[in-house]
Amino acid sequence: MKKIIRISVVVALATFCFFTNKTEADTFDEFRYKEVEGGIEIIDGPDEGDIVIPDTIDSKPVVSIGDTAFYVARITGVTIPESVTTLERGSFKYCKELKYVKFKGSGIKTLGEESFEDCESLSSINLPTSITTIEPRIFVNCKSLPYMDLSHLTINTIGDSMFYNCREMSTLKLPNTVTVIPEDFCVGCEKLTTIVLGNKTTIIEEGAFSFNDSLKTFNFPETLISIGKDAFYNCGSLTTISLPDSLKEIGDGAFSETGLKTVYCSYNSYAYKYFKDKDVKIITGNKKIDTTNNNRKTKKYGGKRRLNHKKLNITLGFAKKLKLYNAKGKVKWKSSNKNIATVSKKGIIKAKKTGKVTIIGKNNGKNYKCKVKVYANKVNLPTNCSMDSRIGVSIYATSIEKYYNDYIVTYVVNNSSGYRLRNLDAVDCILLDSGNRFYQSKKVSFRYVPRTFKVKYKGLRKIDLRHASLNISSASYFKVYYYNN
């Protein structure tokens, strides 16, 4: 007889435990439930179709939907009564066929962590004004949400990674009461064109709006004090921003890899001082200061002519820009080997082939040289993606290849537990850049776990794999079922 053991693991917990398949609970219709303070908590229910949560059971109000109550269920819609005040962690997580959520009345107060994470078909949800708490990762990978308006809510805080990889979302409006936009709040929403912040926003944290390729303009509220590191990193279409006088801090790389061309701000403000030496046009009231001209005089480097880089490493297929500070007249650029890298009239170096090359800028009869090394666009492998060493299971990537606009990664499952793996559920395979910013994530589940498997990261534009990494999310919730030989 085969001995079956069920192990539930939450990565980063100090311990894991063994338990039986069913929690002791009562049943009403198709719903399993238990009594909690104030009423009834639903802990399981129908596995498919449209469902309606009952408002009472045994004359007691249904007040909450429990942890992972409908996890991986094939439900297509859910109606939640006014009696329910709380959705616990992962209550509808990974319900891939869930299309709509309807809250009746104004009873709901708390949306627990990961409540609707990986509900890929979710396109409609109403959020009542009664909501007071929104925890992290609520709508991660909800790829069908077209629009989200939170402006009617009166919440003071919102959880991080709330709209991570919501690809179809075009518009996002936030409440006036929210003062801090948390880390990785809205990342990888490739169709997002409009973001409206509340008029009391003071802080935008690290990576909050990174990798939103369609975002073209952004207006910041007059209350803004700080923009965090990588806040708008890789928003390639972002060309115009307006910054308030209240701004006191801009983090490293906040606007890196964007198409930023125009900045509106007050003369001599923090924003003006920050951008005045960068390749943008600064517009201040009736004054227009063009800082994109290489001929602009500056006291940088004590007035001496100097390149902004003497050495550069560039990934194949990417570009970087050289500037000659304090130049007199025009700068003539040339490459010692155009097969490896070319350089434009504006000093933009484009990597063509792996190898070494020297870029030369000639000004006023003198040459200024930058040594450039072009590297292949590939990730260093293998990349270990350990799940939990205590149970002897790990996953690591062994190869990555490009196929048109997709990237295909081969992963290996390393099992030293002494048991054969039967089920592996919802493991989050993430492709990251050098700053641990998001490229794309994919969930994988197996009934019979293979030794190797492939994951396709679809529709990615050009990415720098040399600075990328592949990982299993430390926040992943997964279950492993073992059986021995």
Encode pLDDT of 75-121 as tens digits: 999 999 999 999 999 999 989 999 999 999 999 999 999 999 989 99
List the domain range (segments joined by +) for residue 323. Answer: 300-375
113 and 194 assigned to the same domain: no
pLDDT at 13 over 50: no
**Sheet of strand 393-403: strand arrangement:** 383-388, 393-403, 406-415, 452-457
**Does residue 14 lie within any of the structural domains?**
no
Query: Does the residue 125 lie in any domain?
Result: yes
Strand partners for 14: none
Structure confidence at residue 439 (pLDDT):
66
| DSSP classification of residue 158 | B
Global confidence as pTM: 0.63
**Distant-in-sequence, close-in-space partners of 417: CB < 8 Å, separation ≥ 6:** 391, 392, 393, 482
The count of domains in the chain is 4
Residue 343, domain CATH: 2.60.40.1080
Residues 175 and 287 both lie in one domain: yes
Arithmetic mean of pLDDT, 270-283: 90
410 in a structural domain: yes
Residues 266 and 316 in one domain: no
Q: What is the pLDDT of residues 178-204, one digit of tens each?
A: 999 999 899 989 899 999 999 999 999
Between the CA of residue 193 and those of 169, 202, 216, 242, 439, what are the distances in Å?
Answer: 9, 22, 7, 16, 18
Least confident of 96-105, 119-128, 421-430: 421-430
Of 236, 271, 292, which marks where a domain is finished?
292
- For residue 5, being part of any structural domain is answered with no
Q: What is the pLDDT of residues 296-318, one digit of tens each?
A: 444 455 678 889 889 999 988 88
In the structure, what pLDDT confidence band is assigned to residue 154 with cuts at 50, 70 and 90?
A: very high
Q: How far apart are CA 89 and CA 65, in angstroms?
A: 9
Task: Say whether both 463 and 392 belong to one domain.
Answer: yes
Choose between 319 and 386: higher pLDDT. 319
Tell me if 485 sits within 8 A of 424, measured CB to CB.
no
**CATH code at 467?**
2.60.40
Task: Give the confidence band of 437 by pLDDT, cuts at 50, 70, 90.
Answer: low
Residues 310 and 356 in one domain: yes
Residues 389, 358, single domain; the answer is no
Each residue's pLDDT tens digit, 223-248: 999 999 999 988 888 999 999 999 99
12 belongs to a structural domain: no
- Interacting residues of 212 by C-beta distance below 8 A, sequence separation 6+: 186, 187, 188, 189, 190, 192, 232, 235
286 shares its domain with 304: no
Residue 74 falls within a domain, yes or no? yes
Mean pLDDT in residue range 166-189: 92
Q: What is the CATH number of the domain that holds 67?
A: 3.80.10.10
Range of lowest pLDDT (2-16, 101-115, 341-355, 358-372): 2-16
Would you say residue 2 lies in a domain? no
Helix H, strand E, coil C: the string for 137-153 is CCCCCCCCCCEEECCCC
- In the listed set 274, 292, 310, which residue is the last one of a domain according to the structure? 292
Average pLDDT, whole number, for the chain? 82
Are residue 207 and residue 304 in the same domain, yes or no? no
User: Do 438 and 389 have their domain in common?
Assistant: yes
Residue 273 lies in a domain: yes
Last residue of a domain, one of 375, 392, 408: 375
Give dist(CA 309, CA 358) in Å, integer: 12
CA dist 151 and 401 (Å) reads: 43
CB-CB neighbours of 312 under 10 Å:
20
Average of per-residue pLDDT across 386-390:
53
Two tokens, residue 215: 């975002």
The answer on 287 and 172 residing in a single domain is yes
Are 424 and 335 in a shared domain?
A: no
CB-CB neighbours of 142 under 10 Å: 26
Residues 133 and 181 in one domain: no
Q: Worst-scoring range by mean pLDDT, 173-187, 205-219, 347-361?
A: 205-219
d(C-alpha 178, C-alpha 156), whole Å = 5
